[in-house]
Amino acid sequence: DDNRTPSTGGNYRRDDNRTPSTGGNYRSNENRPAGEGSNFRSSGDNRFANRPRTTGFIRPAEPIADPNASKLNKDVKFKKPTAEVATKVKSKSKEDKQVKKYKKLIREQISTTDIDKAVRETMAGIDLQHSTGGSRSKIKQKKKIEREERDTIRQRVEDEMANVLELTEFVTTGELAKAMNILPNQIIVKCMQLGLIVTINQRLDKDTISLIVEDFGFSVNFYSEQDSLEIEEEVDTEESLEFRPPIVTIMGHVDHGKTSLLDYIRSSNVVAGEAGGITQHIGAYQVELPNNKMITFLDTPGHAAFTAMRARGAQVTDIVILVVAADDSVMPQTIEAISHAKAAGVPIIVAINKIDKPDANPDRIKQQLSDHGILIEEWGGKYQNIEISAKFGKNVDVLLEKVLIEAELLNLRANPNKNARGTVIEAVMKKGFGPVATVIIQGGTLKVGNPFVAGTASGRVKAMLDEREKRVDLTEPATPVLVVGFDTLPEAGDSFTVLNSDMEARQVAKDRDILKRELSLRQIRKISLDDISQKIHEGNVKELKLILKGDVSGSVEALGESLLKLSNDEVRVLIIHKGVGTILETDVILASASEAVIVGFNVPIDVNARKLADVEKVDIRNYNIIYDCINEVHMALEGLLSPEYHEETTAMLEVRRTFKISRMGTIAGCYVQNGKISKNDKIKVLRDGLIIHTGTLSSLKREKDDSKEVDAGYECGVMVNNFNALEVGDHIESFKIIEVKRKLS
């Protein structure tokens, strides 16, 4: 029965269109039916432009019945994305993935099972109703009715399906209107009712889209572009896993000795047979202990780096060494370090430092730590501790042994025999090398020649240098290495992934770049419902938009974190772009377009950028000291805070006589008891201590002349705007409204 096939055909078409969120799409052009797949994400051009969809970001619910579908189905074999595609595309989290699978299942079920079932049931019904017939005309009639009924059912199911829109989160008002087949104005009006002023080209956020779509009788399935940009790791088998060194971060309050400890470990460790120690700072280094065991240290002490990485979803650290100075106490950053490590679920080893100092009091530290939930082993708790002197190297070896014990407990393992994956720790422009980045390899082995992608950067490993400036050909898990061969600078915290080909790497990087730009665009124009309702409630939400440029990505991340923290209920710091290197014209353009301030940290300003900034009135602030920068932004925030208004009484007048003049109103002869009244002051009329009118003066006269102000002890003639009921004995209090700038607490 030819009429039946469309339902299966429809299903196949849906599958095909849905692949962007399910996988294999970077390289599966060959898996696609020629008719549709050939123009789908072809390499080279903007992928959004290449979408087979009419509306760019929108995938309208496809018709299920397509008369050509059966033909297509015969002509073209549709292969499912195969397992040979090594790296698959994954969704953000397991939960997301399940939800998506579930949704997919439901959609598939609706599209195939339900339609088929509905058709079959009706057919059965029709058969029953019409099975009594026998003659040729009756059979013809029966077939006709069958056909009609089938069409109605199909129509009904189709109608239901058509009400489900498949959209990305990035649709504009215009695109959304197109998807629902209505006029953009209808959406604009609807948005106004929601308290949103939107334009036709404005991107709407998810909440708004859901609300609007519902109002027009549709429902929506969001499919995420972002999902397609994370590359799923191959699952390692138990046998493939081998032990790897632990990766350690040293944290603690400023001046408690983090740098000293890192320096001591670095300088005391000279790997057997090597001349010279660790010569270059690449953001991480590895040391070898006498028992040939290795430990990797992240060489960026402090919490900013740790938290910034975590904020970007990169957890690199296995163990935290918490340094507390024995001659000081548990300080704010000590507590911060504890909460950061705990939040990340990373074990802590306590190193009580400066034990050589005469005023060292380790017991006090232990006590204070226990007050903050860190009960050391010695006191029956679970945290290992050791008293050290970073300056003189006392007990540092014991500390490192403790790290190894902790590592053993953690059973740290990785599979070295696969494509490498890791995380970017630091990225800089290096003379003679171009953009380079320190990458900590977390799985697999990185080899010279490997194509890779890291955030929006891609490339091929041209060379690798270790912390001793020695060229290496292979880098195994938990080892830091300086990678040469990036096309642009990646960012600290970016995941680093080796792919099978340069083309694939470039494509992923490009897709991510497009998405990133989309997101930043959205950020500029973003109006979420939360914001709006807050604005309505408070009437004073303001934001300070910043563009951050710094010398190395570590400092940009750290500064960004600190600046974001300055946000409070009333003023929000929004970093719309951050990057490494010179402040360029493009930064100024972005700043001008989004009314942002450019904050530079240790970076030069391009001459043209400076000129453009003058023209566009863009504020560029350059700093060399982080504190200055944070302080000034803090001040800027104070400037943005809406001021409080106070009334300040300027004078008190007593009404001694009144003159009623027709067509002019009442003139009151007053005596200024104290202060000085100005013509422009606001006034209150008081009678028996009650305010009976608040307003302004329409005239103020001394003798017969208009006067700007009248001092205490003088008489004057006063008329009040729109108020003629002044009586002898009334008092007039004049006042000014003064603005009081508020300070952030």
The least distance separating ligand GDP from the CB of residue 325, rounded to whole angstroms, comes to: 7
Taking the C-alpha atoms of residue 638 and residue 571, their distance in angstroms, rounded to an integer, is: 9
Mark the segment that binds ligand GDP (CB under 6 A) among 9-17, 147-155, 241-249, 257-265.
257-265
CB 252 within 8 A of CB 260: no
Mark the segment that binds ligand GDP (CB under 6 A) among 152-160, 255-263, 398-406, 612-620.
255-263
Measured in whole angstroms, the distance separating CA 554 from the mean position of its chain's CA atoms is 17
What is the secondary structure of 391-455 as a DSSP string? TTTBTHHHHHHHHHHHHHHHT-EE--SSB-EEEEEEEEEETTTEEEEEEEEEESBEETT-EEEET
What is the secondary structure of 586-618 as a DSSP string? HHHHHHHHHT-EEEEES--B-HHHHHHHHHHT-
* Block residue for tokens 């990797």: 296
Residue 400 or 618: which CB sits closer to ligand GDP?
400
Among 172, 353, 442, 497, binds ligand GDP (CB under 6 A): 353
User: Taking CB under 6 A as the rule, does residue 300 contact ligand GDP?
Assistant: no
Among 45, 121, 151, 255, binds ligand GDP (CB under 6 A): 255
CB 94 within 8 A of CB 227: no
HSE toward the beta carbon, residue 9, CA cutoff 13 A: 19
Burial category of 193 from C-beta neighbours within 10 Å (exposed 0-12, middle 13-18, buried 19 and up): exposed
Task: Work out the end-to-end distance of the chain between its first and last CA atoms, rounded to an integer number of angstroms.
Answer: 77
Residue 322 or 683: which CB sits closer to ligand GDP?
322
Residue 387 or 491: which CB sits closer to ligand GDP?
387
Element (H, E) at 638: helix 626-640
User: Taking CB under 6 A as the rule, does residue 554 contact ligand GDP?
Assistant: no
Mark the segment that binds ligand GDP (CB under 6 A) among 30-38, 389-397, 575-583, 734-742.
389-397
Give, in degrees to the nearest 5, the angle at Cα 279 between 275 and 280: 150
User: Taking CB under 6 A as the rule, does residue 333 contact ligand GDP?
Assistant: no
User: Taking CB under 6 A as the rule, does residue 390 contact ligand GDP?
Assistant: yes
Among 197, 254, 661, 737, binds ligand GDP (CB under 6 A): 254
Taking the C-alpha atoms of residue 162 and residue 687, their distance in angstroms, rounded to an integer, is: 70
Mark the segment that binds ligand GDP (CB under 6 A) among 79-87, 387-395, 467-475, 649-657.
387-395
Would the CA dihedral through 671, 675, 679, 685 be positive or negative? negative
User: Taking CB under 6 A as the rule, does residue 303 contact ligand GDP?
Assistant: no
User: Taking CB under 6 A as the rule, does residue 329 contact ligand GDP?
Assistant: no
Among 55, 259, 370, 582, binds ligand GDP (CB under 6 A): 259
Taking the C-alpha atoms of residue 579 and residue 569, their distance in angstroms, rounded to an integer, is: 27
Burial call 649-658: b when 16+ CB within 10 Å, e when fewer: ebbbbbbeeb
User: Taking CB under 6 A as the rule, does residue 260 contact ligand GDP?
Assistant: yes
User: Taking CB under 6 A as the rule, does residue 507 contact ligand GDP?
Assistant: no
Among 389, 419, 495, 650, binds ligand GDP (CB under 6 A): 389
Determine how β-strand 690-702 pairs with β-strand 715-720.
antiparallel
Strand partners for 623: 601
The least distance separating ligand GDP from the CB of residue 263, rounded to whole angstroms, comes to: 7
Residue 301 or 347: which CB sits closer to ligand GDP?
301
- Joined together, the tokens standing for residue 397 give 């070896």
Among 142, 293, 391, 634, binds ligand GDP (CB under 6 A): 391
Q: Name residues whose C-beta falls within 8 Å of residue 322's C-beta, 6 or more positions apart in sequence.
A: 251, 252, 334, 337, 338, 341, 348, 349, 350, 351, 374
The least distance separating ligand GDP from the CB of residue 393, rounded to whole angstroms, comes to: 9
The least distance separating ligand GDP from the CB of residue 537, rounded to whole angstroms, comes to: 43
User: Taking CB under 6 A as the rule, does residue 226 contact ligand GDP?
Assistant: no
Taking the C-alpha atoms of residue 125 and residue 104, their distance in angstroms, rounded to an integer, is: 30
The least distance separating ligand GDP from the CB of residue 579, rounded to whole angstroms, comes to: 27
The least distance separating ligand GDP from the CB of residue 600, rounded to whole angstroms, comes to: 25
User: Taking CB under 6 A as the rule, does residue 525 contact ligand GDP?
Assistant: no
User: Taking CB under 6 A as the rule, does residue 362 contact ligand GDP?
Assistant: no
User: Taking CB under 6 A as the rule, does residue 354 contact ligand GDP?
Assistant: yes
Residue 254 or 536: which CB sits closer to ligand GDP?
254
Mark the segment that binds ligand GDP (CB under 6 A) among 40-48, 236-244, 253-261, 368-376.
253-261
Mark the segment that binds ligand GDP (CB under 6 A) among 348-356, 497-505, 596-604, 642-650.
348-356
Mark the segment that binds ligand GDP (CB under 6 A) among 9-17, 247-255, 453-461, 530-538.
247-255
User: Taking CB under 6 A as the rule, does residue 203 contact ligand GDP?
Assistant: no
Long-range Cβ contacts of 25-31 (<8 Å, 24+ apart)? 25/81, 25/89, 25/228, 26/89, 26/228, 26/504, 26/507, 26/508, 27/85, 27/504, 28/81, 28/85, 31/78, 31/79, 31/80, 31/81, 31/82
Mark the segment that binds ligand GDP (CB under 6 A) among 70-78, 354-362, 500-508, 551-559.
354-362
Nearest Cα neighbor of 17 from 124, 107, 97 is 107
The least distance separating ligand GDP from the CB of residue 354, rounded to whole angstroms, comes to: 4
Q: Looking only at residues 8 through 67 of this chain, which bind ligand GDP when binding is defined by CB under 6 A?
A: none
User: Taking CB under 6 A as the rule, does residue 258 contact ligand GDP?
Assistant: yes
Give residues in contact with ligand GDP (CB under 6 A): 252, 254-260, 301, 353-354, 356-357, 389-391
